[in-house]
Amino acid sequence: MAKIKKSDIEKMVQLSRLELTDAEKEKFAGQFSDILGYVEELSEIDDKNIEPIDHITGKSNVFRKDKITTRSDRDEMLKNAPAKEDGFIKVKAILGDK
């Protein structure tokens, strides 16, 4: 069974910029070792004759055709816009000094 050492936990803590006490590091080392042991057990299962599944319910998504609609009344569309300029919605500039 794979054994995670406290030094492995300290490296992960450093990379993830966490602050853990020595007791927490010891606790997590044990927990990670248990997890890796479980994964090792799973790798021993013979799964060669098992079909992979991607969805357990068997349902599929239903798509519809997009409908293109046009509006020719620009003034009607712009009536609720907070600011307008030359027939367009005016927004704050996010780039530059405008």
pLDDT band at 17 (very low <50, low <70, confident <90, very high): very high
Specify if 11 maps to a domain.
yes
Output the six-digit token pair for 20. 């853990």
What pLDDT does residue 95 have?
A: 85
Specify if 72 maps to a domain.
no
Q: What is the count of structural domains for the chain?
A: 1
pLDDT band at 51 (very low <50, low <70, confident <90, very high): confident
Specify if 52 maps to a domain.
no
23: domain range? 6-43
Q: What is the 3-state secondary structure (H, E, C) of the chain?
A: CCCCCHHHHHHHHHHHCCCCCHHHHHHHHHHHHHHHHHHHHHHCCCCCCCCCCCCCCCCCCCCCCCCCCCCCCHHHHHCCCCCEECCEECCCCCCCCC
Collect all residues with Cβ–Cβ distance below 8 Å to 88 and sequence separation of at least 6.
78
Specify if 56 maps to a domain.
no
pLDDT reading at 98 higher than 60: no
